[in-house]
Structure 1
Amino acid sequence: MSRPTFRTNAFQQTLLGLEYAPDPDRPADLFSRACVEEFSQMRLDRYGYLLAQVFEPNVLVEVALLAGLPYESLADLSHQPTEPIRRLADLVHHAADLPVTGVLNVATALISVSRFDPAAGLLADAYVRAATPRERFEAAMLAFVVTNRRDDGADSPRQFHRMRDAAETDQVPDDRVLDACSQAVVWYQKRKELPESEYQWFLNTGTRLATAADRMDPGAISSWYRALAMVPAAEGAADTTRRYMEYAREAAENTMARRPRAYETHFLKTYHESSLKEHMYLTRDLDKAEEAGQALIALDPSWAPSYGELAEAYVAFGRTEKAAHLYEQAVAAGPPYVGHHMLRAARCHQKAGNSTRALALHRDLSLLARDDEQVLRAGFDLAQDLGDTDARAHFEAALQRLGNEGARHPGMDGDDR
C-alpha cells in the first residue's frame, strides 16, 4: 500500500527553502508570505526582523517526512534546495564576521523556519558579544523563543531575567519591552515559565506602558491586550476579557491600516484565534465561537490550522460530525499539522459512528507515522472492532515491524497552539 501524498503547499516550500512558487489556484498563506518577505528584506546592520509565527521542531519533522527527506538534513541546513537557504547557511557559517545585530537577524531567520539548534548557537555567541542593553535584550528575547519551542521553556526564567535587566536600563524601546511583557503574561498563564515575582514585574510594566498607547506601535498594543485578556479569562471575568479583546482588535485594525502587509494581518488573525478560544472556554457561546472561526478562515483560507481551530471548537460543543469535516479540510490544505488533523478527523468520525472512514484515515496515517505505536494500536483496535481482516493484518504487520525496530514517536500529532 503506497504512502498517501499531499499537494506541496506554500508553507512546506517555505520551511524547506524560504521561498514558494506562486499558485493562482491556491494563494500563499499569510505566514509564508510574511516569512519570505522578511528574509528577502533582511538588513544585517539594523534591528527589525519580524517573526510572524514560531513553530515547534515537530513541524519541521513533519515537513521532512512529507518531502521524503532526512530531518537532520533540514535541521542542520545541509539540505540547500534554494538560493535563500544557501544564503542563510552561508550567513550562519560566517556569523563571526557579522555585527551583533546581524547575528541576531540571522538567528531570527533560522527560528522562522524552525532551525532551532543553529539559532541557539548563534544566540549564545551574540549574548557574549553584546555590548549594549538593547543587544542583550534582543538576544535574550530570541533565546526565550528557542527554549519555549524547543525545550518546553526550560531556560525561560533566565532569559526573562535578562530581558528585565536590560529593560530596566531604559535603553530598550518601549515597544520591545511591551512585547516582552506580552510574552511573559502569556507564558506565565499557560505554564508558569517564569517566577511569579518576574511575572508581576512584567505585568505591571506592560500595564504602565500601555497607558501611552498613542505613542506605541499598535501591533505591540494589540499583542499586549490579547495577552492581558488571559488574566481575567483565568478568573472567569468575561466582561473584562471581552473589553481587553476589543482593545486588541482595534489596535490590530490600526496596524493593518498603517501597513497592509501579511505580517501586520497576523495581528487580526491572532485576535480571531483568541476570540475563538474565549467563546469556547469562557463564554461557552457556540454562535460567537463559530463566527470567530469563520472569520479566521476567511482571513487566511489557505492556512490549514484555521480549519483545525474551528474544528476544535465544534468538538468542544459536541458537534463531532462538523468537526470531522473541518479536520478533513485541514488535512486537504496540507501542512502544518497534517498528522494532527488526520488523527483528530479519525477520532471524530469514530465518535460520530462513521468507523469505516475513521479506519481509512488511520491507515493513511499509519503510512505517514510509521513509527507511532499509539496510532498503529488505535488502527488495529478499530480494524478488529469492524472485523476488517485486511486492515487488521496491515496494522498487525506494522506493529510487529515496530516491535522489532523499537517504538519511536516522530511528532506527527503535535502542534504548538
Structure 2
Amino acid sequence: MLDKIEYVTPVQKLNLSFLLASMARYNLSLKILSNIEYNRLLPREQGYYWLQSFFLQERLEKKTNFEIEFMEIKKILLTNIYTPSAETVFISQAIAFKVKSNIISDELLDFFVNRGVKNVEILLNMDTHDFNRNLSLSNFYRSYAMLFMKDNIPKVLSLMEKCKKYADLITPVNRIEELKKLEALKTYHESSLKAEVYLTKDYKKALYHGFEMLKIDPNWSIFKSEVGLIYEKKMEFEKAITWLKDATKFESPLYLLNLYNLANIYERKDRLLSQEIYLKILEIDPLNYSSAIRGHIISKNNRENNIFNNKLDYFIKEGYVTRKQVEDDVNNG
C-alpha cells in the first residue's frame, strides 16, 4: 500500500497511520497522517485524526502543547456524533495527559471532565453486560483518579477500585476483547502500584499490584523495574537487584534507567560493579550527566575516576553545565 499511497483514500490512510503506530513506526505513521486530505474525512473520522495527531507528536516530542488538537476534538464531541463509550477514548486521554504533561488549558480540561462525568451517568444506566460500557467506565475512572493525586488520596483509591470493578465486569467474546480487558487490568494495576508507592507508601499493597500485573504479562519490563524499586525502598537490596537485573534483559525505553537504578543499588554493595555499570551507560549515552556524576563520586580513589573526570570536564567545556553546578552536585551526592 505504501508504494501506491497516492491512490489510497483518506480513511485508509488514517487506518494505516494507526496500524504503523501500533508497530512503533511513529515517524512513518506521522508522515502518512500529514498527507491525509482532512476535509475528505467524515466527522466521526476527524476526531480520530486529531487524536492520532496528538499521540504521534507527543510520542515524537514534536511539541508540548495540544490545545489546538483537543479544541478540535471538543468541537466534534459537541455534535454528539459519538456514543458516550466512544467519547471516553478522547476524554481519558485529555485528562491523563493534562495531569502528566499539562498539554491543555484548565478551561479545556474542565470541558472534558464535565463531559466525562455526564457520560458516566448515561453509561451506568446501560446494560451491565455491555462490553464497551464496562471498558469505558474502567478507563474513565482511572484517568479521573489522576486529578486527585495531590490532595485527596482516599478519592484516588476509591476511584481506582471503581476502575477495577468495571474491568472485572468486562466479558470478552473474542480475542481482541480479551486483549482490551487485559490492557484495562494492566493499567489498573500500574496506576494502583504508583498510588501505593508514592501516595500511601504502602509497599505491601504496591507489591501485590506488581505481582498481579506480572501474572497478566510476565515479560513486561516496566513492572519488573517497579518491583525492584519497591524492594529498594523496603531496604531489601538483594531482591531489588534481582528484579532490576531481570528488567535490563529487555531493550525497553527504560533500559538505561533500569541500568542506572541498578548501579545506584550496587553502590551499597559493590562499588566496582557500580562503576562498570555507569561506564556502560556512558558508552550507550555519552551525555548521561547523572551517570558521570555518580561514577565520579564513588571512584575518587581509583583509576576509573579519570574517565568520569574527563567526561565532566567535557560537559563543562561544551557548556552543558557549569563548574559550580558540577561541584554542587558532587558535594550534594
Is this a same-fold pair by TM over 0.5? Answer: yes
Q: Does 1:250 align with 2:165?
A: yes
Matches within 5 A, 1:110-129: 110-126=20-36, 128-129=38-39
Structure 2 residue aligned with 1:80: none
Deviations 1:374-408 (A, max 9, x none): 266236515633x332x34555677799999998x
Q: 5+ unaligned residues in a row in structure 1: which ranges?
A: 1-90, 408-417
1:323 pairs with one of 211, 228, 240: 240
Assess if the C-alpha contact under 8 Å between 2:260 and 2:277 holds in 1: yes
Measure the CA separation in 2 of the matches of 1:303 and 1:209.
33
Measure the CA separation in 1 of the matches of 2:234 and 2:8.
53
Structure 1 residue aligned with 2:279: 363
1:388 pairs with one of 290, 296, 302: 302
Indicate the percent of aligned positions where both proteins have the same amino acid: 19
Measure the CA separation in 2 of the matches of 1:242 and 1:316.
21
Measure the CA separation in 2 of the matches of 1:253 and 1:267.
9
Measure the CA separation in 2 of the matches of 1:406 and 1:113.
38
- The structure that has the greater radius of gyration is 2
Higher share of residues assigned helix: 2
Structure 2 residue aligned with 1:279: 196
User: CA 1:269–1:127 in 2, change beyond 3 Å: closer, same or farther?
Assistant: farther
Structure 2 residue aligned with 1:289: 206
SS in 2 for 1:228: helix
Structure 2 residue aligned with 1:339: 256
Deviations 1:221-251 (A, max 9, x none): 211111011123332231x222221221122
Q: Does 1:226 align with 2:142?
A: yes
- Give me the TM-score of the superposition, normalised by structure 2: 0.82
Assess if the C-alpha contact under 8 Å between 2:50 and 2:72 holds in 1: yes
Measured after TM superposition, the shift of residue 152 of structure 1 is 6.8
Deviations 1:150-204 (A, max 9, x none): 2275341111011111111112233221111111111122232111111111111
Measured after TM superposition, the shift of residue 129 of structure 1 is 3.8
Structure 1 residue aligned with 2:224: 307
Assess if the C-alpha contact under 8 Å between 1:307 and 1:326 holds in 2: yes
Measure the CA separation in 1 of the matches of 2:159 and 2:28.
38
Measure the CA separation in 2 of the matches of 1:256 and 1:362.
47
Q: 5+ unaligned residues in a row in structure 2: which ranges?
A: 321-333
Matches within 5 A, 1:27-176: 91-126=1-36, 128-151=38-61, 154-176=64-86
**Which sits farther off after the overlay, 261-270 or 191-200?**
261-270
User: CA 1:380–1:230 in 2, change beyond 3 Å: closer, same or farther?
Assistant: closer
Assess if the C-alpha contact under 8 Å between 2:231 and 2:240 holds in 1: yes
- Give me the TM-score of the superposition, normalised by structure 1: 0.67
Q: How many residues align?
A: 312
Measure the CA separation in 2 of the matches of 1:151 and 1:166.
25
Measure the CA separation in 1 of the matches of 2:117 and 2:218.
34
Structure 1 residue aligned with 2:97: 187
